[in-house]
Structure 1
Amino acid sequence: MLAALAVGLAAILYILVVGLLARRVLETPIGWPRAIIVGLVVFVASVSLLRAVELGSGLLAPAGSLAVDRVIFVLFITVAAGWTVACGIGILVALELVWPTRHFGGPVAAVKAFRARRRRARRYAQVLAIASRHGLGPLVHGGKVSDAAAWLPGALVDALNEAGVTFVKFGQVLSTRDDLVPPEYTRALATLQAGSSTVAWDRIRTVIEQELGGPIDATFASIDEQPLAAASVAQVHTATLLDGTEVVVKVQRPDAAAQVRADVDIILRLAARIEERTDWGSEYGVVDLADGFAAALNEELDYRIEAANMTALGRIADESESAAIRIPRAFEAVSTARMLVMDRVDGEPIGASADRLSQLDPELRTELAKGVLDAVLEQALVRGMFHADLHPGNLLLTADGDIALIDCGSVGVLERSLRERIAALLLAVINDDDIGTTDVVLLVAEAADDTDRVALQRDIGRVLTRMQVSTQTGRIFMQLLDVLRDHRLAVPPAMTLAFRTIVSLEGSLRRIDPDFDLVETGLARVPHFMRRMLAWRRVLGAAEATAAVAAVQARTMPRRIDAITSSLERGTLGVRVRAFEGTDERSWIGSIVAQLTTTLIAIAGIVTAAILVVSDAGPFLTANVRTTAFVGVVIGLAAFLLLFRSLRVAFVRRRR
């Protein structure tokens, strides 16, 4: 009984020692479950090892009594136990290299993580249930649906509507991708722009009063309880201000923010898993796409951003050469994060205006599409701020025959230098100039030193050649982005957003004019806007700014020249190297040197230990072991511990 208790206590002590020393040597937390398992296995093996050391080293006489001094016996057993600990640490190092410990950050973090996983699992189950309820279950689970062409698009729209904000927004994006989605689906998904389910007035009224901080009649003379439209994130009601101005009130759905956060969390995790486990996910940058989609959704939840964007775009529209578009005025004084008040515009989305558009003269439809494109190109190329979400639901055909742009939550901003290069790029593209396009691309995007520029030009040339006979120019722009990504060129996000806007705009313009050609009738206007960008006033202003900077620099030149010549005369001129001047840089260099030193010492120790162990020189410490061999074993133990730590620092990415 006492012997079993002693063995048990020894096993517990051994496990603690192995676990704590492994953490100390590796400087990283190691999960106790694996430390316990490894400790038990090595402890069982160490019992046989210690017995073999006792018998093989001559510590015990044949009768079982000690054949050496007690001090020597303790030293041998201690070193042998040390090697068993080293073996345990080595196994833990190998496990950490192959299967790093996952850290949960304590009980509180573990509980929070569990609740988050439970919410995600519940949401997963909810989405799958919605899909099954609308007959999409076989598709979700990889099965087949027979005779689905007639009813599947409508069922998909119903399922997305019921799934909530994020999935409705996803459907809206797909409705503009005629290059990816069949026509029957894009037509059905277009109804998502104005076909979302409504929210009861009592809940909407509560949101309005919370945002106003008081009763509704303190701000509005009247408000219609019946919604004018129900969008993916908000619901719109007509109202009248106290001064008689007719407005619409865009109110965020009560559960929109929470639903978006839950769905975005699911989307980001799925994107990370897809990019990690698939080649196409990494190639197309699924995580970056998901991050951009998430950022756009989060911006849509703050209507103060949209109000500011409407004011800026409205100013651009008022000063524009094109009168084809209008931007509703935002009343920023009474708008809040969850409520936006703006001018009332009589019209309907072009995605739902097929009958009315069909009654217009074809030439008028073409001119209307040209005017919209002109206005958007002027926003992007001349003014540098453009509406970046131009799907058919955000373009309203007004009673006057104009187009009003709504939902200004997502805008793009292009600095002047980038605008000039994008304009030059478009000019090269529409002229089928692969050399010029490549040159401009290399000015816009960051290329690595090993970029094959000949192959890049060849791939760009293929895209431009296909564009000459393509009926979907927007798709060509996405193919051009794919070429840049394949050649690992770092494209500015604003440029990517501009190209994606062209894709969305082309889908919207084709609803206005089905025969609209973005190259022949649209991008041919680029030279006009480039001339406006390079107007003599702008060029003169840029020249004046450059001259002013040069003048300031010229005034400091005499003093700099005098300082250099004075230093030459005194013989004190020197060159200061600023590399590794910062604290972080010095710390990094110090860690590299320390790691290298530790590794070299460990290797030298192992070599020394091997030489001493096989050496025949020196007196015998026991009947079978020489003193030099015993010293070599001790040195080898210390060297292996140092090597474990060095390997851990060098090859295992620390989890922070």
Structure 2
Amino acid sequence: MTIAIAVAAAASFTLFLVVYPVIARRLLGVRVGGVRTLLTGGVALGGILLFSTVIRTPDRRGLLMGVQMGCALLLAMGFLAVSEMVVPSGSTTGWLRAVRSRAVRARRYSQISGIALRHGLRPYLRGRGGAGREPGIARLARPLRQALEEGGPTFVKLGQVLSTRHDLLPVEFIQELSRLQYQVPPERPDRIAEQLRESFGKPPEDVFADFDHEPLAAASIAQVHLARLHSGGAVVVKVQRPGVRANVERDLDIICRMARVLDRRARWARTLGIIDLAEGFAGSVREELDFRVEARNLATVRAAWAQREAGSAVAIPDTCEELSGELVLVLEQLPGKPISADDGRLGGSPEERAELARSLLGSLLTQVLVDGTFHADPHPGNILLLEDGRVGLVDFGSVGRLDGQIRAALRRFLMAVHHADSAALRDALLDLVARPEEIDEQELERSLGRFMARHFTPGSAPDVKVFVDLFQLVSLHGLGIPPEVAAVFRALATLEGTLTRLAPGFDIVAESRSWAAADKRAGSMGGFASVGAPLESELYSAMSALRRLPRRMDRVTSALEEGRLGVNVRVFADSRDRRYIRALVHEILLTILAATTGLMSVILLHAHGGPMVTASIRLFEVIGYHLMVFSGVLCLRILFVIFRAQR
């Protein structure tokens, strides 16, 4: 007898701890983890004990057992619903990690504030302190550069990006922030040696015939060392700074959180799509943390460029794949100096430098318009002036990728600019951007016409302001630029500054037109010449449609005249529409059922008469109590669905 009681108690305990949570989460339509399931079962067990004490009396002899169990189910559902609204599923599993991350983030916020205070940036960050006074602005450039440098790799990277934005910052800032391209304190040699030992499994002296522990260049995320292979080949070894990943991830998290706050509070931030911009920046930086991505990028660009490299003035280094990995990248050495380090003594006449600039421009345009994979960050620190008179492209951590459709739209865009056709420019632009539901195409065409008249009329000298005005025009008309298209324009704007530094007075627009005409005469696949095949195909398609158009119009007008014109529409053809209607009908039926059972329970509980089940309770009351619990379960389900949809 004792064993039977113990088995029955264990079965009841299991029922409340397992079955009740399963029923509660099925009724609410949520999936929860094991911890929350056990907590819900404990609440249900406590509820059944509580209600059995409150409801059950000796004269009712278990008639309201269903009410007791239903009330316990209501309590379990309520606990599950409230806990899900307060702490959504999945967040409890990493709460210790979240608390630790919040503490680290708060400490980082404090460090950033301290850095700004030490360098005298606090008044400027608050909108005061010399605003509008040129001497004050000039004095701010160096403290800003020093603060970004002290802030760590992510903020150094941010400074590098800002140093290419001639449209946003005065020349004093550009010059000062450009020093971040190469003037970054190097890592200690012993830490770099340890990093190499962990990557190779042995000391660098065993891997290379010669390894220079003095870095050739030090960047925010990695630094570069010269080495020589046992085969005799000269290489550069790009080594990631030890421990940089955790710090970069923390700072990127801060940047993305700040972007989300601005998106909620500032209309201009929503207009710019600041969340997408911040996440795009974070994504590009995260790619740079894995050198395997850069190796793949370099291999892709080099494979497309290999057939043109012979006789070209642009060189792209090869990768030593067997020695490269996530934290180390070994590349062919391109002997030379970055353009950012050019102090006028790197050699070359103005004509030779202009020719190098043309080659560099042609290389990027070919990568964008033909290959579809291009160097997305051609700032002066990533372009080398080589000893053999060529230019070299390095640092392929940031690479843009374009599909065939976007490349075709870009070619149409450039062709429209070349021919000053505002209508074609509008159509090409709408193919490039995220088109809103409502847009005034005529006003957009007029704006583009004014844009071309301002920048591309004879005698004008287009510069980086072209890209600034284009972005402003796109934003004004509510058009969203996809990240890959924005990367193209950003790369061209960055390249414009690089080319101007390489060859002062270089006209990127005029040279682009010359490059296109030269490529077309040569019959190559680059530039606008590559437009020929797509245009021929599109023209053929258009002519075919035009040939069929009169016959189709005749059929339509005849059917309209005879009253036979009809439109066949499949209602709810999309499965998403069917799911939505099905869910809506279910919720309506549940609402009607909950209201009906609730009303019936009230009527039965207030009804007089009816058979007595015991001396103290009638049959109508027993049914009414059960219907009330059933109505409560349905109402809780409906309310949870409503509030969850509002999140």
Structures share a fold, TM > 0.5? Answer: yes
- Alignment partner for residue 495 of structure 1, among 479, 485, 489? 485
Q: Is residue 2:142 matched to residue 1:154?
A: yes
Provide the residue aligned with 2:551 in structure 1.
Answer: none
CA distance in 1, matches of 2:517, 2:104: 53
Q: Is residue 2:584 matched to residue 1:592?
A: yes
Change (3 A) 1:276 1:576: closer
Change (3 A) 1:24 1:338: closer
- Alignment partner for residue 135 of structure 1, among 120, 130, 136? 120
On the 8 A contact 1:426/1:526 being kept in 2, the answer is no
- Alignment partner for residue 514 of structure 1, among 504, 522, 530? 504
CA distance in 2, matches of 1:274, 1:478: 22
What is the alpha-carbon root mean square deviation over aligned residues?
4.9
Q: Give how far 1:458 is off.
A: 3.3
On the 8 A contact 2:412/2:531 being kept in 1, the answer is no
On the 8 A contact 1:222/1:239 being kept in 2, the answer is yes
The CA deviation string for residues 588-623 of structure 1, in whole angstroms up to 9 with x for no partner, is 55433211211334456688899x79x9x98899xx
Provide the residue aligned with 2:637 in structure 1.
Answer: 645
Provide the residue aligned with 1:14 in structure 2.
Answer: none
Q: Which amino acid aligns with 2:500?
A: R
- Alignment partner for residue 412 of structure 2, among 415, 424, 429? 424
Q: Give how far 1:335 is off.
A: 1.8
CA distance in 2, matches of 1:336, 1:436: 46
TM-score normalised over the length of structure 2: 0.73
Change (3 A) 1:457 1:601: farther
CA distance in 2, matches of 1:117, 1:125: 12
On the 8 A contact 1:104/1:110 being kept in 2, the answer is no
On the 8 A contact 2:163/2:178 being kept in 1, the answer is yes
Provide the residue aligned with 1:377 in structure 2.
Answer: 365
What pairs with 1:535-546 in structure 2 (closer than 5 Å)?
A: 539=533
Change (3 A) 1:240 1:462: same
CA distance in 1, matches of 2:107, 2:117: 15
Q: Is residue 2:101 matched to residue 1:102?
A: no
TM-score normalised over the length of structure 1: 0.72
Q: Which amino acid aligns with 2:503?
A: D
CA distance in 2, matches of 1:448, 1:473: 29
Q: Give how far 1:649 is off.
A: 1.6
Change (3 A) 1:25 1:537: closer
The CA deviation string for residues 515-557 of structure 1, in whole angstroms up to 9 with x for no partner, is 22222233453455576448699949x98xx99xxxxxxxxxx
CA distance in 2, matches of 1:122, 1:510: 42
- Alignment partner for residue 350 of structure 1, among 336, 339, 344? 339
What pairs with 1:267-286 in structure 2 (closer than 5 Å)?
A: 267-286=255-274
Q: Give how far 1:165 is off.
A: 1.1
What pairs with 1:175-194 in structure 2 (closer than 5 Å)?
A: 175-194=163-182
Provide the residue aligned with 1:7 in structure 2.
Answer: none
What pairs with 1:64-79 in structure 2 (closer than 5 Å)?
A: none
Q: Give how far 1:90 is off.
A: 11
CA distance in 2, matches of 1:455, 1:602: 54
Identity of aligned residues (%): 37
On the 8 A contact 1:609/1:633 being kept in 2, the answer is yes
CA distance in 1, matches of 2:629, 2:220: 66
CA distance in 1, matches of 2:518, 2:152: 43
Q: Which amino acid aligns with 1:183?
A: V
The CA deviation string for residues 53-72 of structure 1, in whole angstroms up to 9 with x for no partner, is xxxxxxxxxxxxxxxxx99x
- Alignment partner for residue 470 of structure 2, among 452, 464, 480? 480
CA distance in 2, matches of 1:590, 1:319: 59
Provide the residue aligned with 2:429 in structure 1.
Answer: 441
Provide the residue aligned with 2:282 in structure 1.
Answer: 294
The CA deviation string for residues 36-86 of structure 1, in whole angstroms up to 9 with x for no partner, is xxxxxxxxxxxxxxxxxxxxxxxxxxxxxxxxxx99xx99xx99xx99x99
- Alignment partner for residue 251 of structure 2, among 255, 258, 263? 263
What pairs with 1:182-261 in structure 2 (closer than 5 Å)?
A: 182-261=170-249
On the 8 A contact 1:478/1:500 being kept in 2, the answer is no
> What 5-or-longer segments of structure 1 have no aligned partner?
1-19, 33-69, 548-574, 622-626
Provide the residue aligned with 2:550 in structure 1.
Answer: none
Change (3 A) 1:238 1:127: same
Change (3 A) 1:142 1:630: farther
Change (3 A) 1:465 1:607: farther
The CA deviation string for residues 5-38 of structure 1, in whole angstroms up to 9 with x for no partner, is xxxxxxxxxxxxxxx9998976669xx9xxxxxx
On the 8 A contact 1:377/1:529 being kept in 2, the answer is no
Change (3 A) 1:526 1:86: same
Change (3 A) 1:512 1:580: closer
Q: Give how far 1:150 is off.
A: 4.7
> What 5-or-longer segments of structure 2 have no aligned partner?
1-20, 37-58, 542-568, 612-618
Q: Which amino acid aligns with 2:102?
A: R
Task: Give the SS at the match of 2:645.
Answer: coil
Q: Give how far 1:107 is off.
A: 6.3
Q: Which amino acid aligns with 1:379?
A: Q
Provide the residue aligned with 1:335 in structure 2.
Answer: 324
Answer with 315-324 or 382-391: which moved more.
315-324
On the 8 A contact 1:304/1:332 being kept in 2, the answer is no
CA distance in 2, matches of 1:254, 1:536: 45
Answer with 627-636 or 404-413: which moved more.
627-636
CA distance in 2, matches of 1:121, 1:308: 37
What pairs with 1:441-480 in structure 2 (closer than 5 Å)?
A: 441-445=429-433, 447-468=435-456, 473-480=463-470
Change (3 A) 1:484 1:608: farther
Provide the residue aligned with 1:63 in structure 2.
Answer: none
Provide the residue aligned with 1:126 in structure 2.
Answer: 111
CA distance in 2, matches of 1:106, 1:440: 45
Change (3 A) 1:585 1:351: same
Answer with 199-208 or 374-383: which moved more.
374-383
Q: Give how far 1:136 is off.
A: 2.4
CA distance in 2, matches of 1:200, 1:401: 34
CA distance in 2, matches of 1:370, 1:301: 32
CA distance in 1, matches of 2:583, 2:591: 12
Provide the residue aligned with 2:388 in structure 1.
Answer: 400
Change (3 A) 1:517 1:426: same
Matched pairs, number: 569
Task: Give the SS at the match of 1:355.
Answer: coil
Change (3 A) 1:149 1:588: closer
Change (3 A) 1:526 1:106: closer
The CA deviation string for residues 134-192 of structure 1, in whole angstroms up to 9 with x for no partner, is 33233345542596445422222222222211111111110010000111000011111
Q: Give how far 1:428 is off.
A: 0.9
